[in-house]
């Protein structure tokens, strides 16, 4: 029964996010207090991610260094540079610009693995890229934010580094250890972790929407527009580079999704914990979570349908 509930929540996560966000917009006071727990929600989601990672995955990282390097390079150049470019082109207010940069400099999110699965991409490659970008995040994210937003606000590299270690590295590490030590027990309740991750992300978004309800009504349209462009360009450039580098169809889909899909929950937590004086900085991350799942699902289904067509053409030619 609980396994079915978990599958339904995963399947209809977008609808749940939209419903909770709409409720938070209408009754913001009921959700504002949850912002105090966004770091805990994200840590829970990251623990769930850790239970899906095998020790073997780290060995595989060493077996395909060029492919992993390509993914990491794309992750920490395309989205950060797009974030900076969009901030300049649209002359975004300081807080929103900071939020867009935070989203762009974050590692890949767990949603990318789900979307790669939908697209029938290379799931192993997706997991490895997510692991690689997550491992690099404590250094790359603070460094890039400092370089790109240091002129806008005061950025503490050490404080951001510690935040990422607490809400990403430690929970993921504990999840990996739990999987290694309690493999059989974890297997019996493995359906719980995607459920926890899904609900954690939905609650993070609802909390930020509730906290910024009034501001969303005045500046939400601008943020939505920028976030949509950011996500679409990330997917498109990731796909283009995959083709340029001669990757096979499945890896092209995976690289594209990995580049365009961010750990936007981390962007929200970093905004709340490190830039409390810039409350709107958390808004792009919350909106990106909704947008990337909607656009990503459409893109993934399209890639899957094109993949089927290619296979049918091959079969006809045989």
* Amino acid 79: pLDDT: 95
Higher pLDDT, residue 132 or 167:
132
Contact 95, 277 (CB under 8 A): no
* Dihedral Cα 240, 243, 247, 251, nearest 10 deg: 40
* Amino acid 317: pLDDT: 67
Q: Give yes or no for residue 54 having a pLDDT over 80.
A: no
Question: Cβ contacts of residue 149 below 8 Å, gap of 6+?
Answer: 97, 98, 101, 102, 155
Question: Cβ contacts of residue 318 below 8 Å, gap of 6+?
Answer: none
Token output for 278: 């810039």
* Amino acid 22: pLDDT: 83
DSSP conformation class of 27: S
- Whole-angstrom Cα distance, residue 190 to residue 144? 35
The pTM assigned to this predicted structure is: 0.82
* Amino acid 91: pLDDT: 92
- Whole-angstrom Cα distance, residue 237 to residue 256? 7
β partners of residue 108: 262
Higher pLDDT, residue 11 or 129:
129
Q: Give yes or no for residue 310 having a pLDDT over 90.
A: no
b/e per residue 147-177 (b: at least 16 CB within 10 A): ebbeebbebeeeebbebbeebbbebbeebbe
- Whole-angstrom Cα distance, residue 69 to residue 245? 12
Most confident segment among 114-123, 225-234, 261-270, 305-314: 225-234
Distance of CA 17 to the CA centre of its chain: 15
Closest of 291, 270, 279 to residue 228, by C-alpha: 291
* Mean predicted confidence (pLDDT) in 224-250: 93
pLDDT-derived band at 235, boundaries 50, 70, 90: very high
* Amino acid 74: pLDDT: 92
Q: Give yes or no for residue 234 having a pLDDT over 90.
A: yes
* Mean predicted confidence (pLDDT) in 37-48: 76
Higher pLDDT, residue 175 or 232:
232
């Amino acid at each position: 029964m609980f396994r079915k509930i978990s599958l339904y929540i995963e399947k209809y996560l977008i609808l749940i996010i939209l419903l909770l966000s709409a409720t938070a917009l209408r009754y913001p006071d009921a959700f504002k207090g949850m912002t105090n727990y966004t770091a805990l929600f994200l840590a829970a989601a990251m623990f769930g991610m850790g239970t899906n990672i095998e020790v073997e995955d780290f060995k595989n990282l060493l077996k395909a260094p060029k492919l992993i390097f390509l993914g990491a390079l794309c992750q920490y150049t395309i989205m950060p540079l797009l974030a900076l470019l969009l901030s300049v082109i649209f002359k975004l207010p300081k807080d929103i610009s900071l939020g867009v940069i935070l989203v762009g400099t974050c590692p890949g999110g767990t949603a990318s693995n789900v979307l790669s699965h939908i697209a029938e991409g290379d799931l192993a490659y997706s997991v490895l890229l997510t692991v690689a970008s997550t491992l690099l995040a404590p250094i790359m994210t603070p460094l890039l934010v400092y370089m790109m937003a240091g002129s806008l606000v005061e950025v503490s590299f050490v404080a951001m580094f510690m935040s990422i270690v607490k809400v990403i590295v430690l929970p993921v590490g504990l999840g990996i250890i739990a999987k290694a030590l309690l493999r059989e027990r974890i297997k019996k309740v493995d359906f719980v972790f995607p459920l926890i991750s899904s609900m954690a992300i939905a609650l993070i978004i609802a909390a930020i929407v509730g906290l910024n309800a009034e501001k969303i009504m005045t500046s939400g349209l601008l943020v939505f527009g920028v976030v949509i462009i950011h996500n679409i360009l990330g997917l498109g450039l990731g796909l283009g580079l995959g083709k340029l580098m001669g990757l096979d169809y499945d890896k092209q889909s995976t690289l594209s999704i990995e580049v365009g899909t961010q750990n936007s929950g981390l962007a929200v937590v970093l905004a709340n914990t490190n830039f409390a004086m810039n409350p709107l900085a958390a808004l792009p991350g919350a909106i990106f979570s909704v947008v990337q799942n909607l656009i990503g699902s459409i893109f993934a289904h399209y890639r899957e349908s094109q993949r089927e067509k290619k296979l049918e053409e091959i079969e006809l030619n045989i």
